[in-house]
Homo-oligomer: A and B are copies of this chain.
Amino acid sequence: MKYSAKQIATLLHGTVEGDENIRVDDISKIEEGKPGTLSFLANEKYTNYLYDTSASIVLVRKDFELQKPVKTTLIRVEDPYHAFAEIIKIYQQHIHNKKGKEKPHYFDKTASAGKNLYLGAFAYVGENVKIGDNCKIYPHAYIGDNVTLGDNVTIYAGVKIYHGSRIGNNCIVHAGAVIGSDGFGFAPDKDGNYKKIEQIGIVHIKDNVEIGANTTIDRATIGKTLIESGVKLDNLIQVAHNVVIGKNTVMAAQTGVSGTSKVGSNCMFGGQVGISGHVDIGDNVHIAAQSGVPGNIKSGEKVMGTPAVNANQFKRNYVLQKQLPSLRSEIQELKREIARLKSE
């Protein structure tokens, strides 16, 4: 999809200086500009790049004064940074402006959807599924029986949502994520064989949640695994059965939360964090990457390490670790001193 300088200037209420027919299909930073891209000059520090850039079009301030000729085409606008952001927004809307129903798809006759549905080819929508307005369901998405999706939900390619899951408004679920798979529950019999404990609860995801690629969220044994509104989960995260994650908590990639643990609101977890089962993490808790959390953490705490401790304590311990060689030397020295004292 290529846009001409003229088209862009029209969108931005700007004026073209140069070739109004030159076309771009990508964007670039002015210092890395390439032919076929659009860039912008907002910060005066970068002015020098304007004269050498290979970007095809550059947005500049309305009243910007050229010191010498440029090869690029200029579009003069009120506020280049703001205009650039506007163009990106339009571009994104265009990219994500999929519409209609591609064929073949599977849409059960008992399912329903609101207006402006995009249904990709090979998407599957099961029995009694209810889909709100303005939803996008990409190819190979699987929406199991009795699932509900709110308005403005985007389900990317190959997402699998098991039966009965509920997803709120304005949620985004990235490719390959699995929602509602069985919780990991087994009871050993007397011979050491494990018998499956049926997992009959659901996953409930509230509004404005974004879920990363290949992340997995298990259904509850009974009741619900609950993701509160505004939560952001990165890729390859594991959320076990009956977990609750509070409002606006964000977790980086490859973190795992074990069964029945409760995480408060506005927490920030680094990547590869592990939370044990049945623990209670307060609000506004920060957990450093790769930490292992075996027990409860109070609201407002910052922790790190395995087992995770207060971040300041962790750093003190770490300094002490590093002093071990000198502690050992000091002990040797003390021994020699005492030997000398005794021999006196």
Contact = CB atoms under 8 A, between A and B. Distances in A.
- The oligomer's copy count stands at 3
Given A186-B250, A256-B272, A198 B88 contact: yes
A16 interface: no
Question: Considering the complex of A and B, which 8 residue pairs feature the smallest CB-CB distances, nearest first?
Answer: A160-B175, A181-B213, A178-B213, A106-B121, A142-B157, A238-B253, A216-B235, A213-B216
A37 B256 CA distance: 31
Contacts of A323: 328
Interface of A: 1, 27-29, 32, 88-89, 91-92, 95, 102, 104, 106, 120-122, 124, 128, 138-140, 142, 144-146, 156-158, 160, 162-163, 172, 174-176, 178, 181-182, 184, 186, 192-194, 196, 198, 200, 208, 210, 212-214, 216, 218, 222-223, 230, 232, 234-236, 238, 240, 248, 250, 252-254, 256, 258, 266, 271-272, 274, 276, 289-290, 292, 306-307, 316-318, 320-321, 323-325, 327-328, 330-331, 334-335, 337-338, 341-342
Nearest to A28: B223
A5 to B, nearest CB: 19
A140 B121 contact: no
B290 A274 contact: yes
Contact of A176 (B214, B223, B334): B214
A231 to B, nearest CB: 9
Contacts of A92: 198, 200
A246 to B, nearest CB: 11
Contacts of A146: 1
B88 A200 contact: yes
Contacts of A158: 140, 142, 158, 160, 176, 178
Nearest to A160: B175
Given A240-B253, A321-B317, A174 B178 contact: yes
Contact of A238 (B144, B198, B235, B258): B235
B193 A175 contact: no
Given A144-B157, A235-B216, A274-B271, A292 B292 contact: no
A193 B208 contact: yes
